[in-house]
Amino acid sequence: MGVQKLKIAAAGLGRMGKRHAINFLHRTPRAELVAAFTPDEAETQWAKTNLEPYGVRLYDDYDAMISQEGLQAVVIATVTKVHAEEALKAMEKGLHVLCEKPISTDVSICRKVVDAAKAKPHLKVMCGFSRRFDSSYRDAYEKMDAGVIGTPTIFRSQTCDKHDPSPFFLEYSAQNGGCFVDMTVHDIDLALWFFGDNLIVKSVAAAGVAAVQTGLRDLGDCDNAVGIVEFWGGKIAYFYNSRMMAHGQEDTTEIIGTGGKLVVNGNPQANLVNTYTSAGIIRETPPHYYGRFEYAFVTESNEFTAAVLDNTKVPLKLSNAIRVVEIGSYLQEALSTGKKLYFNEAGQRVEQPRL
């Protein structure tokens, strides 16, 4: 008897959508990519070459695709603003959903999706924070969990992109919710993972500048920002995001405990080569996040597939996706108003700091 495979469709074939489609097509043995949707002509051409010959049916209409006979799941990698709507429609059709982060840059919309998922508990609905699937982060988590660093107390994490001077970037930025919502959500998600996701925020402060992408100023956004999120119970996370790196992608995390610390990617590197010349010893770095996290995305596809086929829990709680966007929005507010935000032990906004 043959292997049962998950029949999945890919929505969106942009930069990240193509990768998800290929990963489900070629790198997820228990899945079968049966359909793909894109409204875009160039992306359709790409799909005719790269997907169709492997038996993937192409659509320019999302609703038509999710009605395909026998379809069981959909991976959503369209533009952020339609994530929620597409996820809701898929759930209505009884499909399992893997949605690119974030569900929405708006907390209330995130909540709608989470509520809809709660109403259909037999469906697996996951919002993909790729770093949770990275083998280095997992190794660090296991070491922390085994007590190697005592009680985790301080969390430092940064998402730093290589400077992209192309016009694409500003266009993208106009709808991404701001640097903390677009970039730091990854670091916030990691903080919740390593600290435990039942933490209550105590205060939020931030500062930022638009140093090289000066067009961001008109959008009220920054290309370099730092923020501190203090939690009740004696834990602190601090963050840095940047779109200004000259050398490449540099996403680094430190988990500092009472008995030691773990550092993930303290020495970014593209591969294992060092070049010794009269300029010194040179190490190159990955040019972008997919250079760093490619295999994490492959693990994500496989684990989502396994959770559906084996009816086990998905590795990430969907409700986390709300909290991450919520904290990201707090940081964004702290950044744009210049004010520090305070919360009481119940997590409610208050006017003055509680000590």
Tell which positions 199-258 bind a copy of itself, by CB under 8 A: 203, 205-209, 211-212, 224, 226-228, 230, 234-236, 238, 240, 242, 244-248, 250, 256, 258
Residues 50-79 that bind a copy of itself (CB under 8 A): 53-55
Dist. CA 87–CA 285, nearest whole Å: 35
Pick 61 or 139: Cβ nearer a copy of itself: 139
Pick 94 or 150: Cβ nearer a copy of itself: 150
Residues 271-300 that bind a copy of itself (CB under 8 A): 271-285
Q: Sign of the C-alpha dihedral, residues 209, 215, 217, 222?
A: negative
The only residue of 39, 339, 344, 349 in contact with a copy of itself, by rule CB under 8 A: 339
Is residue 223 within 8 A of residue 179, CB to CB? The reply is: yes
Pick 196 or 259: Cβ nearer a copy of itself: 259
User: At 305, which amino acid appears?
Assistant: T
The pattern of x and - marking residues 76 through 115 that bind a copy of itself according to CB under 8 A reads: ----------------------------------------
The region that residue 33 occupies, defined by phi over 0 for left and psi between -120 and 50 for alpha, beta otherwise, is beta
The only residue of 8, 16, 21, 25 in contact with a copy of itself, by rule CB under 8 A: 25
Q: How many residues bind a copy of itself (CB under 8 A)?
A: 85
Residues 113-142 that bind a copy of itself (CB under 8 A): 135-136, 139-140
The tokens of 209 are what? 């500048």
Residue with tokens 């893997």: 98
User: Using the rule CB under 8 A, is 344 a contact of a copy of itself?
Assistant: no
Minimum CB separation of residue 149 from a copy of itself in Å reads 7
User: Using the rule CB under 8 A, is 306 a contact of a copy of itself?
Assistant: no
The only residue of 268, 309, 320, 330 in contact with a copy of itself, by rule CB under 8 A: 268
DSSP helix/strand/coil, 266: coil
20 Cα distance to chain centroid? 13
User: Using the rule CB under 8 A, is 353 a contact of a copy of itself?
Assistant: yes
Dist. CA 198–CA 23, nearest whole Å: 33
Pick 102 or 248: Cβ nearer a copy of itself: 248
Minimum CB separation of residue 267 from a copy of itself in Å reads 7
17 Cβ neighbours under 8 A, 6+ residues apart? 10, 11, 38, 43, 77, 78
Tell me which stretch binds a copy of itself (CB under 8 A): 38-46, 175-183, 305-313, 347-355.
Answer: 347-355
Dist. CA 204–CA 90, nearest whole Å: 36
Is residue 187 within 8 A of residue 242, CB to CB? The reply is: no
CA distances from 323 to 121, 185, 310 (A): 20, 10, 27
Minimum CB separation of residue 42 from a copy of itself in Å reads 22
DSSP helix/strand/coil, 296: helix
User: Radius of gyration over alpha carbons of the chain, in Å?
Assistant: 21
Minimum CB separation of residue 169 from a copy of itself in Å reads 15
Residues 140-169 that bind a copy of itself (CB under 8 A): 140, 143, 148-151, 153-154, 156
CA 243-79-56 angle, 5° bins: 120
